[in-house]
Chain A
Amino acid sequence: MINSGDTAWVLFSSALVLLMTPGLAFFYGGMVRKKNVLSVLMQCFVMLCLLTVYWMLFGYSLSFAPGKGFWGGLSWFGLNGVGLEPYAGYGGTIPHQAFMIFQAMFAIITPALIIGAFAERMRFSAFLVFSLLWATFVYSPLCHWVWGEGGWLKNLGVMDFAGGIVVHTSAGIAALVVALSIGKRKNLDHNVPSPHNLPLVVLGTALLWFGWFGFNAGSALAANGLAVSVFVVTNAAAASAGLTWALLEWIRNGKPTVFGTVTGSIAGLATITPGSGFVSPASALVIGMLASILCFIGIAVVKPKFGYDDSLDAFGVHGLGGILGTLATGLFASKLINPAGADGLFFGNPRQFLIQGVGILVAVAYTLVVTFVIYKLVDIFFKMRVNEKEELMGLDLTQHHERAYTVLE
């Protein structure tokens, strides 16, 4: 039976999640140097175009067609059989296509998250091929295992409400692999580039936070009490994480920065994602705090020691946040919040924590290996990195023959 309220909420949520990809574009675009801002906006925006087509042709089928195999197969190729009647396994009260388009937005933003790791130095053609292969061979299988009907991690009891594993852990680990493989940007030793437009970063954060209500609360797939709980919990984690990051900076560096505070909020949002449908608002405040503490240590302390150039901290925020959030779900989940879920360790069920750990191990190991293989293959055929002159001149002019800003009129 189609429920009009549920359908309206999922459609609206789909639009909210769509907005997150341009939001991410501004978030990342403000952080790079001005000679590269268009390349980042373009990489994000083209994901909307390329992956929509991918999703409709075979991505949705690979991810969500029912089956116990490696992925869903091609029975829903070209949306064949994905109609306007509800599908019991995927939100039984909304048209199947509403679920399909909602999930499309997740498939779009996940590869876009990785852009933060290789910003300012990847060739555009190689980027397109890499992203398409990554969506096909990393995103779709993981998505099927965790969310698809018959998926083995789902059957094992792994809980990932809105994408802590499928979206943030996978993108974050892929980011680390690519950052290590492609190498550091030129001249980083003398001259660590400042973000060219912090207001743009703040605008992007605002759009991401706004869109995240669709991402998380929309994942209830219904306009009900659970969706409200998820909404409240999501907001709580973002707020407490932003505050925590500002305090950490205040203590360690003497001043709280805008850049740090918004980064903290995003870390909180990424971290609460897997548990958003299973934890209480009070737990969310704690999870948000832990998110900023972990990501702050990762970005401000550990990254400089290892010296890899995860340029915009895609791993530091989404990878660490996704892993922490998925494990935290195994601690803080409570059946009082969502009877369809399970209790976590703090509510008397230590087994759930182990199950969450297995989910993370599988996702990390699979993503590490397959992302590396895809990277090497694309590098052989398309050459991943721009040459030195192109990098110094900037990707806007060399990849797109455009520039973002004029000097005089």
Chain B
Amino acid sequence: MKLIIAIIQPYKLEAVKEELYNVEVNLITVSEVLGHGRQKGITEVYRGAKETGNLLKKVRLEIAVNEGFVEPTIKAIVKGAKTGETGDGKIFVLDLKECVRIRTEERGGVAIG
């Protein structure tokens, strides 16, 4: 089991969701986060004065999958989120030790899907 964490551009969320549905990955958790990458970011203007260096809004996805779904999930996220410009984001893949479905108390791979 793996836990896939992806940081993407907020405006790419719909496209990524669409790609994930296409490979039948339907269980995702989404949160709004702030972050700094190498991207200098969008300049905001505060009453006419330019402000740079603001933390940028990103969207963070968390997806727990069984081994067979790891590559399709990664590919789907890349397909949905990639523009080729800086700021597209990152994907982290972590080993997942345990998964429990609270309703049934099932554990492991069956609890993920």
Contact = CB atoms under 8 A, between A and B. Distances in A.
B33 A402 contact: no
A407 B34 contact: yes
A305 interface: no
B14 A187 contact: yes
A191 B34 contact: no
B96 interface: no
Interface string A264-301: 00000000000000000000000000000000000000
A161 B44 CA distance: 46
User: Which 5 residue pairs spanning A and B have beta carbons closest together?
Assistant: A392-B11, A393-B11, A401-B45, A187-B14, A407-B34
A237 to B, nearest CB: 41
Interface string B1-37: 0000000001110100010000000000000111000
A284 to B, nearest CB: 45
A389 B45 contact: no
B44 A401 contact: yes
B42 interface: yes
Given A407-B34, A407-B57, A190 B45 contact: no
A408 interface: yes
A394 B10 CA distance: 10
Given A191-B14, A389-B11, A393-B11, A408 B34 contact: yes
B8 to A, nearest CB: 12
A407 B59 CA distance: 11
A5 to B, nearest CB: 42
B86 interface: no
A191 B15 CA distance: 12
A403 interface: yes
A407 B32 contact: yes
Contacts of B42: 397, 401
Interface of A is mostly: loop
Contact of B33 (A35, A400, A403, A407): A407
A313 B80 CA distance: 32
A394 B14 CA distance: 13
25 contacts: A35-B10, A186-B14, A190-B14, A190-B18, A191-B14, A389-B11, A392-B12, A392-B14, A393-B10, A393-B11, A397-B42, A397-B44, A400-B45, A401-B43, A401-B45, A402-B44, A402-B45, A403-B44, A403-B57, A407-B32, A407-B33, A407-B34, A407-B57, A408-B34, A408-B55
Nearest to B11: A392
A191 B16 CA distance: 14
A389 B14 CA distance: 12
B81 to A, nearest CB: 12
A265 to B, nearest CB: 33
B46 to A, nearest CB: 8
Interface string A296-331: 000000000000000000000000000000000000
Interface in A160-219: 186-187, 190-191
Interface string B63-95: 000000000000000000000000000000000
A191 B18 CA distance: 11
Contacts of A190: 14, 18
Contacts of A402: 44-45
A59 to B, nearest CB: 29
Contacts of B14: 186-187, 190-191, 392
A389 B42 CA distance: 14
A401 B45 CA distance: 6
